[in-house]
Amino acid sequence: MMHDCADDQIVLRQELSSYLETQGLSSFTVLGTDIFRLLHAPGKLLSPSPPASRRIPLGFWAVLPLFIARYCQPAAPPLVMQRVALACELLHCALDYYDELEDDDLSAERQDLGDGRLLNAATTLFVLSRRILASLVPSLLSYERYSQLTELVDTELLLAMDGQHRDILVEQRDMSDMDPEECVLIAEAKAGTLVRLVCRLAACAVDARDEVVHLFAQFGLHLGIAFQLENDTHDLEVALSPSSANKPLTRKSDLIRPRCGTRPTQTPFRRRSQGQATIASVSRIWCPASKQSKVCHYHLFSAGFSALMRMKRCLLDR
């Protein structure tokens, strides 16, 4: 891992549970039970299980903005950094379940709750992501700064929703109509924008310099695109692995309705580690054997590294 975040995860879990209590959403309430069910899902901040792989820490969408805020302004009030981090975790958790319903995927949470309860709980998470930011006003955030942050979130979300809409529509198209450039553009508009949102929000919340915010935004954009491409290929890689040879195809719309990033192939996937570099601890690449896909993946990660290095140089020169 790029950093031992266990202590931060404990603090964030405690703060999240405490905040939910103040909103009347303890695990003993009707709605709170479902909220905690979603936040305890694999990979989420409150998950009791270790991550399936060491690539991504539990509660990644809270850990990432916490690290960014601390990196930009170590002296910022801890509660500001923590609640901005939790706002990102709650937002991404809500969006994950919206995406699941839109793609008609079938997680354990959806099977347990059903579509109605899942949608209502996800909407509650979305509302909470705004309320937890508002809880910092006016003692720790000025009204002006809060307005700027919510405007940032809304602007990026509108772009991401446009990307999501195009992503849904493209599932109905024939794969012969798709090209790598369009795949990357959709990934940029969807996942790239959402990760950029997290990076920008964390940096802006602690009043980072504009140049630093811009560099983190670039880094988040490229990291998000890489995440999307990895996600679109990972399920197919699992389905094609020898251990899955005699198992039924998982219910994933990306496999049932082939789309960009998940072009069916008879060629085995090859995993290539990115070494000990920072971004490798966040997301490792699963590359198809096609040269074109490799070039696309390596270009995106190279761009992410480049943005990160410029960001570091900028901060060291302060």
CATH number at residue 75: 1.10.600.10
User: Would you say residue 270 has pLDDT above 60?
Assistant: no
With 0-12 / 13-18 / 19 or more C-beta atoms within 10 angstroms meaning exposed / middle / buried, residue 275 is exposed
With bands split at pLDDT 50, 70 and 90, how would you rate the model's confidence at 272?
A: very low
Confidence (pLDDT) at 113: 96
Q: Is residue 215 part of a domain?
A: yes
Q: Is residue 87 part of a domain?
A: yes
Query: How far, in Å, CA of 171 to CA of 181, rounded?
Result: 16
What is the identity of the amino acid at 81?
M
User: Would you say residue 48 has pLDDT above 80?
Assistant: yes
Q: Is residue 195 part of a domain?
A: yes
Q: Is residue 300 part of a domain?
A: yes
Give 52-85 pLDDT, tens digit per residue: 555 678 899 999 999 999 999 999 999 999 999 9
Q: Is residue 283 part of a domain?
A: yes
Nearest to 73 by CA among 182, 180, 216: 216
Distance of CA 42 to the CA centre of its chain: 14
pTM, two decimals, is 0.77
User: Would you say residue 110 has pLDDT above 70?
Assistant: yes
User: Would you say residue 99 has pLDDT above 70?
Assistant: yes
* Count of structural domains, the chain: 1
**Residue 286 — φ and ψ, nearest 5°?**
-110, 100
Question: Residue 270 is inside which H or E element, if any?
Answer: strand 270-272
Give 190-227 pLDDT, tens digit per residue: 899 999 999 999 999 999 999 999 999 999 999 998 88
Question: Residue 287 is inside which H or E element, if any?
Answer: strand 285-287
Q: Residues 206-228, buried b or exposed e (16+ Cβ, 10 A)?
A: bebeeebbbbbbbbbbbbbbbbb
Q: Is residue 1 part of a domain?
A: no
The residue segments making up the domain with residue 186 are 6-316
With bands split at pLDDT 50, 70 and 90, how would you rate the model's confidence at 266?
A: very low
Give 134-170 pLDDT, tens digit per residue: 999 999 999 999 999 999 999 999 999 998 998 888 8
Average pLDDT, stretch 298-306? 51
CB-CB contact of 44 with 93 (8 Å): yes
Quote the mean pLDDT of the chain: 79
Cis peptide leading into residue 50 (ω within 30°): no
